[in-house]
């Protein structure tokens, strides 16, 4: 398959998978128990979204040139994803935490059924920065040919 030889596709997928595995390891170190959902769920250290898009942008820059229009498009897309990961999705996670507290309180009073929202949706700026660093490292280390 030709797609499997495309470094602008493969390197970002490797960066994403590496970030997901690192989330599992970091979570295991912190909580001392394996949580296999960390391999697929969003949120946590490092940001896999950030790793994916930063690796993509770096690979496009390396292949097509840092001044190319396609590098500009990849960079703008990456900035949108980074902003979303650290801003909008993080705010949604905070809102979910507050709503879950309200649901817990109402549930204890037997007024509503308990249904919890996912709280770990977004990333701290440090998690995003770590994801960018990981993605860039994978991309700069990836062979082009």
Give the pLDDT of the chain (145 residues) as one tens digit per residue.
Answer: 666 789 999 999 999 999 999 989 988 998 899 988 888 877 778 888 899 999 999 999 999 999 999 999 999 999 998 888 777 766 676 777 777 777 777 767 666 565 555 555 567 788 888 889 999 999 999 998 7
Q: Compute the C-alpha angle 51/53/54, nearest 5°.
A: 65
Q: Give residue for tokens 């998690």.
A: 127
CB atoms within 10 A of CB 137: 16
**C-alpha dist (Å) from residue 87 to 6, 16, 92, 106, 128:** 31, 20, 9, 29, 10
Sign, CA dihedral 3-129-37-122, equals negative
Of 25, 79, 85, 88, the residue nearest 57 (C-alpha): 79
- Domain range spanning residue 72? 3-141
Q: What is the pTM of this model?
A: 0.71
Per the structure, how many domains does the chain have?
Answer: 1
């Amino acid at each position: 398959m030709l797609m499997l030889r495309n470094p602008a596709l493969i390197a970002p997928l490797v960066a994403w998978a590496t970030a997901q595995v690192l989330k599992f390891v970091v979570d295991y170190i912190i909580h001392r128990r394996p949580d296999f959902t960390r391999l697929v769920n969003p949120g946590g250290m490092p940001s896999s979204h950030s790793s994916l898009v930063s690796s993509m942008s770096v690979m496009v820059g390396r292949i097509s040139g840092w001044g190319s229009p396609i590098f500009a498009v990849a960079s703008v897309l990456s900035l949108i994803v980074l902003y979303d990961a650290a801003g909008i999705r993080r705010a949604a996670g905070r809102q979910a935490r507050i709503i879950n507290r309200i649901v817990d309180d109402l549930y204890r009073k037997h007024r509503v059924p308990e249904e919890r929202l996912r709280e770990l949706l977004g990333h701290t700026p440090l998690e995003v920065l770590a994801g960018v660093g990981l993605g860039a490292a994978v991309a700069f280390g990836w062979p082009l040919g």
